[in-house]
């Protein structure tokens, strides 16, 4: 066995390197797919965070006693939430 390995060492190394190279070819495509999915998920997550922030601002406005000036801001918040929700879909 030792003699066989010594005689065919270069071929064995080349075969192992070729197998490793062929295995890694598919990994690049999968990694790029995963990256694309991750960026899409990050964008959706950021939009959801913005929506929740606007909703909490609206709840804070509704909890306060100032009604006249804040009605306009509440309608602005509703419009912004609708726009953001449409971007998610």
CB 87 within 8 A of CB 50: no
- Of the candidate ranges 31-35, 63-67, 73-77, 78-82, the one whose mean pLDDT is the lowest: 63-67
Sign of CA dihedral 21, 26, 30, 33: positive
Verdict on whether the full-model pTM lies above 0.85? no
Please report the pLDDT score of residue 52 as a whole number.
Answer: 94
* Digit-coded pLDDT (tens) for 9-65: 888 889 888 888 777 776 677 778 888 899 999 999 999 999 999 999 888 888 776
Q: Domain-by-domain residue ranges, the chain?
A: 2-88
Please report the pLDDT score of residue 18 as a whole number.
Answer: 87
């Amino acid at each position: 066995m030792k003699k066989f390995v010594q005689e065919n060492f270069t071929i064995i190394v080349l075969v192992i390197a070729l197998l490793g190279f062929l295995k890694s070819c598919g990994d690049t495509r999968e990694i790029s797919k995963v990256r694309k999915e991750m960026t899409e998920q990050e964008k959706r997550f950021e939009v959801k965070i913005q929506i929740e922030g606007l909703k909490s601002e609206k709840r804070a406005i509704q909890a306060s006693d100032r009604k006249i000036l804040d009605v306009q801001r509440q309608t602005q918040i509703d419009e912004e939430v609708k726009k953001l929700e449409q971007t998610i879909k």
